[in-house]
Chains A and B, each alone.
Chain A
Amino acid sequence: MSADLAWIDAAISAARPQAVAALLRYFRDLDTAEEAFQDACLRALKSWPQNGPPRDAVAWLVLVGRNAALDGVRKRSRDTALPPEETLSDLDDVEAPLAERLDGSHYRDDVLRLLFICCHPQLPPTQQIALALRIVSGLSVRQIARAFLVSEAAMEQRITRAKGRIAKADVPFEAPGPIERSERLGAVMAMVYLVFNEGYSAASDPARAQLSEEAIRLGRLLLRLFQTEPEVMGLLALMLLQQSRAAARFDPDGEIVLLDDQDRRLWNGKLIAEGLALIDKAMRHRRPGTYQIQAAIAALHARAPAVAETDWKGIELLYQALERLQPSPVVTLNRAVAVEKVAGPAAALDLISPLEERLAGYFHFFGCKGAFLLKLGRELEARAAFDRAIALANTPAEAAHIRRHLDRLMDEGRRGAA
C-alpha cells in the first residue's frame, strides 16, 4: 500500500465509529448504515488522493454515505425520478455547516447508541463481542472468526443472527436522558472489558491478542466522548496496565509466566505511563468504582520496580474495597493472593476455604489452593488441588503451568524417598 493510501486507510478507520454511528441515527437500520459507510469509503478512496483529505473526515463520510444511500433508495423505487447530479457534488459548500451540526455532543450519543446496540441485553456475550468488533471496530468477519477459532461461515451466521435480534428489539433513537446515558455507559464499558479479556486470556495467540488492542481502541474512543467520567478513565487505565505486561506473560514456548517471575524489563513503559496518568486523574474525582480499583491494583504492580518492592498491603486494601463494591468469591480469591504475601499461606488458605463450594469449577481456585498448601508443606493435599486445576484448565498453557508444579512435587518426592 502506498503511503497515500495507508494514510487514507488510517483516517477512515479512525472515523469509522463516529461515521457509522451518525449514519445509524439517520437510517435507524444497521445494515443500511453499514452499506452507506462502505459506499462513502469507496468514494473516499477515489476522491481523497485527487482532492486531498477533507477538513473533517467524519463529516465527509457521513454526508457522502447518506447521499449514496438515499440515491440507492431512489434508484430502487421506480416511481421516483433520479436526483440531479448536482445534489451530490459541491460537497465543500455543505461540509462546514454539517460539521457544526455534528459536533461533539451529537457524536457522543450516536457512538454510545451504536455501542449500546452491540451490547443489547438480549444478545449473549459472544454475539455482543462479535457485533462490536464487526460494526464498531470494522474487523472483517474472517478476522473475528479467527480470533474465536470458528469458521468464517459460523461467524457470519452469528453476526447475522445478532443483527436479526437487534432489528426486532426496541432501540430508542431519541437522545438519552442522564440516567439512561449512564446505564448505557455501564453496559458498554462491561462489553469493552469483555472484548479485552477475550484477548487477554489467550494472549499467546496473536489472532486473539488483537482483541485486547481493539478493546483499548474502544476504551480510548469512550474516554474521548466521556472525558470527565472517572470509571471510563479507570477502565482504559486498567486495560493499558494489563496490556503493558503482554510481552512478559508468556515464555518463548508459550507457557505462562506468573507476575512474580516476569521480566519487568519486558513491560511496556509507554502503556504504563498512560495508564498511571489516567488512574491518577480518575482518583482525584473521589468517586471510586470497580474499574478504578482494579486499575489502582494494576498500578501498584506497575510501580514496583521488582517483585520484592510490591506494596502488597496496599493491594490487599484495594481488594477489600473491591469486595465491598462488588462482592464475589473471585475477588476474595484475588485478595487471598495478597494476604498470602502479607500474612502468610495459612491466613490465605483460611480466607479461601469457605469459597470452595462456589468456585468448585474454577481453575484458578485450585491453582491458588495448591500453591498455598505447597507453601505450608502439605504436599499430598497440594497435589490433589493441582490435579483438579488441570482438569479445569481453559487453555493448554494453563494446564502446562500446573503440570510444572506437579513435576516439581514428583521430583522432590523422589529425592525424599531416595
Chain B
Amino acid sequence: MLYAILCYNDENVVWNWTQEEDDAVMGRLGVVHQKLQSEGKLGPSARLLPTTAATTLRSGAEPMVIDGPFAETKEHLLGFYVVDAGDLEEALGIARQLSEANPSSTYEVRPVHLYLPDVRTGTPAQTPQARIAAPESV
C-alpha cells in the first residue's frame, strides 16, 4: 500500500529558522530518508517553498489565478513523502521516525488512492522497490 505522509508546521517558524537550525533538522531527516531508501520504501518526496510563493487556480466560469495558498491556515503543508508500507502501522512507524527527526512538525498519514505513473497496474507481485523506483521495467 502506498501512503502519502504530509508534513505540516507553522511557516512563520520554520522559514525563520537559522541556516544552522535548518541544517540540523535536515541532517536528522537525511538519516531517516537514507534508511527508507535503502529499504526500498521511499517514493517521490518534496519539500515545498513557503505558501507566499504559491499561486492558486480557483475554478469557476473563468478559472481565476490567485496569489497565495488555497486556504489561510496557521499550519502549512511544508512537504510530503510517498512511502510504500505494508499497512497503516508501518506507515505510522515511518511517520514516527520522521517526527523524531523533526519534532516541531506534524505528520499526517494518508493512503494513496491514485498514483501516476501507476507502475503497479497488472503487476501486483512486484517488490516494493521495483514498484516505486523503476517504472520503465513494467
Q: Which residues of A contact B (CB under 8 A)?
A: 3, 7, 10-11, 13-15, 56, 104, 213, 217, 220-221, 223-224, 227-228, 233, 236, 273-274, 277-278, 281, 284
Beta-carbon contact of A14 and B53 below 8 Å:
no
Residues of B within 8 A of A233 (CB): 52, 67
Taken together as a complex, chains A and B put the C-alpha atoms of A217 and B12 apart, in Å, by 9
For the A-B complex with A14-B16, A220-B16, A278-B52 known, give 17 more contacts whose Cβ atoms are closer than 8 Å.
A7-B103, A7-B104, A10-B16, A10-B17, A11-B13, A14-B10, A14-B12, A15-B12, A220-B12, A220-B50, A220-B52, A224-B11, A227-B67, A274-B50, A274-B53, A277-B49, A281-B53
Residues of A within 8 A of B11 (CB): 224
Beta-carbon contact of A281 and B55 below 8 Å:
yes
Whether B72 is near chain A, meaning CB under 8 Å from some CB there, is yes
Residues of A within 8 A of B74 (CB): 56
Beta-carbon contact of A228 and B16 below 8 Å:
no
Q: Closest Cβ of chain A: how far from B28's Cβ, in Å?
A: 11
Which chain B residue has the least Cβ–Cβ distance from A224? B52
Taken together as a complex, chains A and B put the C-alpha atoms of A13 and B18 apart, in Å, by 12
Beta-carbon contact of B65 and A284 below 8 Å:
yes
Residues of A within 8 A of B12 (CB): 14-15, 220-221, 224
| B40-72 near A? 1/0 per residue, CB < 8 Å | 000000000110110100000000011110001
Q: Closest Cβ of chain B: how far from A111's Cβ, in Å?
A: 12
Taken together as a complex, chains A and B put the C-alpha atoms of A15 and B74 apart, in Å, by 11
Beta-carbon contact of B52 and A227 below 8 Å:
yes
Q: Closest Cβ of chain B: how far from A222's Cβ, in Å?
A: 10
Which chain B residue has the least Cβ–Cβ distance from A232? B52
Residues of B within 8 A of A56 (CB): 74
Residues of B within 8 A of A228 (CB): 66-68
Taken together as a complex, chains A and B put the C-alpha atoms of A244 and B60 apart, in Å, by 39
User: Could you list some 22 contacts between A and B, CB below 8 A?
Assistant: A7-B103, A7-B104, A10-B17, A10-B104, A13-B16, A14-B10, A14-B16, A56-B74, A104-B72, A213-B18, A217-B16, A220-B52, A221-B12, A223-B52, A224-B12, A227-B52, A228-B66, A228-B67, A233-B52, A236-B52, A278-B53, A281-B55
Residues of A within 8 A of B53 (CB): 274, 277-278, 281
Beta-carbon contact of A10 and B13 below 8 Å:
yes
Beta-carbon contact of B67 and A281 below 8 Å:
yes
Taken together as a complex, chains A and B put the C-alpha atoms of A309 and B57 apart, in Å, by 34
Taken together as a complex, chains A and B put the C-alpha atoms of A120 and B132 apart, in Å, by 57
Which chain B residue has the least Cβ–Cβ distance from A227? B68
- For the complex of A and B, list the 4 residue pairs with the smallest distance between their C-beta atoms, beginning with the closest: A14-B12, A227-B68, A277-B53, A228-B67
Residues of B within 8 A of A104 (CB): 72
Residues of B within 8 A of A13 (CB): 16
Residues of A within 8 A of B10 (CB): 11, 14
Beta-carbon contact of B103 and A3 below 8 Å:
yes
Residues of B within 8 A of A223 (CB): 52
Which chain A residue has the least Cβ–Cβ distance from B52? A223
Which chain B residue has the least Cβ–Cβ distance from A219? B52
Of B15, B16, B17, most A-chain CB atoms within 10 Å: B16
Q: Closest Cβ of chain B: how far from A218's Cβ, in Å?
A: 11
Q: Closest Cβ of chain B: how far from A407's Cβ, in Å?
A: 35
Contact of B49 among A11, A15, A274 (CB under 8 A): A274
Q: Closest Cβ of chain A: how far from B132's Cβ, in Å?
A: 25
Q: Closest Cβ of chain B: how far from A78's Cβ, in Å?
A: 42
Which chain B residue has the least Cβ–Cβ distance from A6? B21
Q: Closest Cβ of chain A: how far from B11's Cβ, in Å?
A: 8
Taken together as a complex, chains A and B put the C-alpha atoms of A221 and B11 apart, in Å, by 11
Beta-carbon contact of B67 and A14 below 8 Å:
no
Taken together as a complex, chains A and B put the C-alpha atoms of A14 and B75 apart, in Å, by 13
Which chain B residue has the least Cβ–Cβ distance from A104? B72
Residues of A within 8 A of B50 (CB): 220, 274
Q: Which residues 3-52 of B have a CB within 8 angstroms of A?
A: 10-13, 15-18, 21, 49-50, 52
Beta-carbon contact of A220 and B104 below 8 Å:
no
Taken together as a complex, chains A and B put the C-alpha atoms of A320 and B37 apart, in Å, by 51
Of A217, A221, A277, most B-chain CB atoms within 10 Å: A277
Q: Closest Cβ of chain A: how far from B51's Cβ, in Å?
A: 8
Taken together as a complex, chains A and B put the C-alpha atoms of A131 and B125 apart, in Å, by 65
Taken together as a complex, chains A and B put the C-alpha atoms of A265 and B16 apart, in Å, by 24
Q: Closest Cβ of chain B: how far from A277's Cβ, in Å?
A: 4
Known: A274-B49, A278-B53. Is A220-B65 also a contact (CB below 8 A)?
no
Q: Closest Cβ of chain A: how far from B105's Cβ, in Å?
A: 11
Contact of A14 among B13, B18, B49 (CB under 8 A): B13
